[in-house]
């Protein structure tokens, strides 16, 4: 597998892909240089390697050109027709498939005993993500010396975004490298046996085909597994709907599985006994997981399919709420969102986003900027009320102080303030029914979609509310601040106001 790579592309796509995989894939392979068509980048460094112009690639010795940008087809034409390069050219998808094959077929890591090294605040969530391994134990990062006396096949370090504090340099791959060094030095682990958390993402990035028996030989089922780990209902929906569309286009039957693993809506002791999807929504194809357990043709998917754009029609066609939940939504919305009152909807995502700054997630605005924009929009748009959607009680208090009786919100349980660790491990989740958590969130998103306009941070809930609204908002203001760990804003420790998107 060890090869020399010339990487084509030095934008955010390349930055995200390489930050995620450089300490895993490129620990076993070598990057010789980066190529880019932008003459202004010539001679600069990217991931500590030189950026060259395309015509300079003939001066380098390498095995593969890896394209790390969105314009893959046009770049391939340029490589073949203009540069006359006839060697191997791969895309990021090709690399993910090759990596999955290497880990699954050659190393067989998913059949091995793994020790997960992670943040004690996120123990349960991190363990829920590694159900793909045959056996897993957990060791806190400040106790890695225990590894010297433990038996394992590989050691897996969790997301570096849990450890921004260990380095003044907030580059994801540098923080990850420091974690690996600590595991090797303090834990006495061979570097070749240290895996990064990207190997879990690789597993989820590739469709897996297999057979469970001889039943239903004429049907092909796309078994969709969304919501691994801490993903909330908004993120689940944005993953499920494109997969349903993909299944329909390829004559497969979509079946959504949120029961065979722990997720935000199924506790560890309820695995296999209830479905985190069917608590809220119906199966789109009328087939259930239990119906296909001996089927001949299964395609297991955790892929997000970013190339499939979903619209309001897809949401209405494939997302049907269970009768009880639909009744709750209708009763609330018909009570508070009828008549001539003009309502400005506001979504503030705080808690774990603000504290943890999860890698590659959208940066959330500073609360001062949010209040300022809401005030401007409220006054200039002539709105009567503000509907607030947030999981944080401290945010509710700030809006009450600023707007008084003009602000209202759904009476769900909230965390007191920004929490350490993931929201799904907070008391809000532990101390109440998981159906209630998801149902309250779905009700608030539907209510948000009934407003006349929207001001929001960029997150899954915002995207779902816009889809549910079906293009009826008269004004949309979404803070576009980049992504944690990719854009420079993260190094300042808080969001920075920038131009928002307006549609």
Find the largest Cα–Cα distance for the chain.
70
DSSP 8-class letter at 82: I
| Residue 303, CA atoms < 13 Å, CB-side half-sphere | 22
Considering only residues 317 and 251, tell me which one the structure prediction assigns the higher pLDDT.
Answer: 251
Lowest mean pLDDT, pick from 56-65, 219-228, 343-352, 489-498: 489-498
Residue 157: alpha-carbon gap to chain centroid: 18
CA distance 129 to 263: 9
Q: How confident is the model at residue 494 (pLDDT cuts 50, 70, 90)?
A: very low
Asked if pLDDT for residue 142 goes beyond 50, the answer is yes
What does each C-alpha distance from 1 to 4, 7, 96, 99 come to in angstroms? 10, 17, 13, 9
Burial of 148 (0-12, 13-18, 19+ CB in 10 A): exposed
220-241 average pLDDT score: 89
234-248, 258-272, 327-341, 428-442: lowest mean pLDDT where? 428-442
- The residue extents of the domains of the chain are 4-90, 108-203, 206-313, 321-502
Q: Per-residue pLDDT for 283 more than 90?
A: yes
Choose which CATH entry (3.40.50, 1.10.150, 2.60.120, 3.30.300) describes domain 108-203. Answer: 3.40.50
The residue count for the chain? 503
Does residue 227 have a pLDDT over 80? no
Supply the pLDDT for residue 493.
29
Range 270-297 average pLDDT:
94
**What is the rounded CA–CA span in Å between residue 322 and residue 274?**
14
CB neighbours (10 Å) of residue 447? 24
Give the fold, CATH level 3, of 321-502: Rossmann fold (3.40.50)
Convert the pLDDT of each residue in 373-398 to its tens digit: 999 999 999 999 999 999 999 999 99
Confidence grade of residue 491 (pLDDT, cut at 50, 70, 90): very low
Q: Are 75 and 69 in contact (CB under 8 A)?
A: yes
Phi and psi at 385, nearest 5°, equal: -140, 165
pLDDT of residue 159: 73
Least confident range from 25-29, 142-146, 201-205, 236-240: namely: 201-205
- The whole-number pLDDT of residue 317 equals 87
Q: How many CB atoms lie within 10 A of CB 202?
A: 24
CATH value of 4-90 in 3.40.50.720, 3.30.70.270, 3.40.50.2300, 3.30.420.40: 3.40.50.720
CA dihedral 25, 128, 110, 118 (to 10 degrees): 50
Tell me phi and psi for residue 61, to 5 degrees: -105, 125
Q: Which two tokens stand for residue 444?
A: 């608030």
**CA 503 to chain CA centroid, nearest Å:** 24
* Chain mean pLDDT for the chain: 87
Question: What is the spatial order of strands in the sheet that 343-348 belongs to?
Answer: 407-408, 385-390, 343-348, 453-457, 475-479, 501-502
**Helices of type H across 337-418:** 352-356, 367-381, 393-403
**Structure-token pair, residue 479:** 């803070």
- Is 108-203 the same fold as 4-90? yes
What is the average per-residue pLDDT within 133-151? 90
pTM for the whole structure? 0.79
pLDDT at 487 over 70: no
Cα–Cα distance, 207 to 93 (Å, whole number): 11
């Amino acid at each position: 597998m060890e090869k020399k790579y010339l990487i084509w592309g030095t934008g955010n796509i390349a930055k995200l892909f390489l930050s995620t995989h450089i300490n895993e894939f490129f620990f076993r392979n070598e990057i010789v240089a980066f190529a880019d068509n932008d003459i202004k980048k010539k001679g600069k460094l990217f991931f500590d390697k030189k950026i060259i112009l395309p015509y300079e690639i003939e001066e380098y010795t390498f095995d593969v050109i890896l394209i790390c940008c969105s314009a893959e087809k046009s770049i391939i034409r340029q490589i073949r027709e203009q540069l006359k390069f006839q060697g191997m050219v791969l895309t990021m998808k090709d690399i993910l498939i090759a990596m999955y094959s290497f880990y699954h077929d050659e190393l067989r890591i998913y059949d091995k005993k793994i020790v997960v090294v992670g943040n004690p605040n996120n123990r349960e969530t991190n363990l829920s993500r590694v159900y793909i391994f045959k056996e897993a134990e957990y060791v806190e990062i400040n106790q890695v010396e225990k590894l010297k006396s433990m038996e394992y096949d590989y050691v897996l370090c969790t997301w570096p975004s849990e450890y921004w504090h260990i380095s003044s340099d907030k580059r994801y791959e540098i923080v990850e490298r420091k974690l690996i060094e600590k595991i090797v030095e303090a834990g006495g682990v061979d570097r070749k046996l240290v895996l990064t958390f990207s190997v879990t993402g690789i597993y989820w990035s590739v469709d897996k085909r297999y057979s469970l028996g001889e039943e239903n030989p004429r049907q092909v089922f796309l078994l969709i597994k969304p919501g691994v780990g801490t993903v909330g209902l908004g993120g689940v929906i944005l993953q499920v709907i494109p997969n349903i569309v993909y299944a329909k286009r390829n004559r497969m039957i979509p079946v959504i599985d949120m029961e065979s693993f722990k997720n935000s809506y199924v506790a560890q002791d309820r695995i296999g006994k209830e479905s985190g999807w069917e608590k809220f929504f119906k199966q789109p194809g009328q087939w259930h997981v239990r119906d296909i357990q001996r089927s001949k043709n299964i395609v297991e998917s955790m892929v997000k399919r970013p190339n499939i754009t979903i619209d309001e029609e897809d949401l209405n066609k494939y997302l049907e709420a269970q009768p009880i939940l639909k009744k709750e939504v209708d009763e609330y919305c018909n009570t508070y969102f009828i008549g001539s009152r003009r309502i400005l909807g506001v979504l503030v995502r705080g808690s774990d986003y603000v504290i943890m700054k999860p890698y590659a997630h959208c940066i959330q605005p500073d609360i001062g900027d949010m209040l300022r924009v809401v005030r401007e929009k409220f006054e200039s748009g002539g709105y009567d009320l503000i509907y607030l959607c947030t999981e944080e009680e401290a945010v509710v208090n700030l809006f009450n102080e600023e707007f008084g009786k003009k602000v209202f919100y759904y009476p769900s349980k909230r965390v007191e303030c920004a929490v350490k660790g993931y929201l799904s491990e907070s008391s809000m989740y532990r101390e109440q029914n998981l159906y209630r958590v998801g149902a309250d969130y779905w009700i608030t998103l539907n209510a948000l979609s009934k407003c006349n306009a929207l001001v929001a941070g960029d997150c899954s809930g915002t995207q779902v509310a816009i889809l549910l609204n079906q293009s009826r908002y008269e004004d949309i203001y979404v803070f576009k601040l980049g992504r944690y760990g990719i854009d420079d804003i993260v190094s300042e420790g808080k969001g920075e106001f920038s131009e928002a998107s307006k549609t």
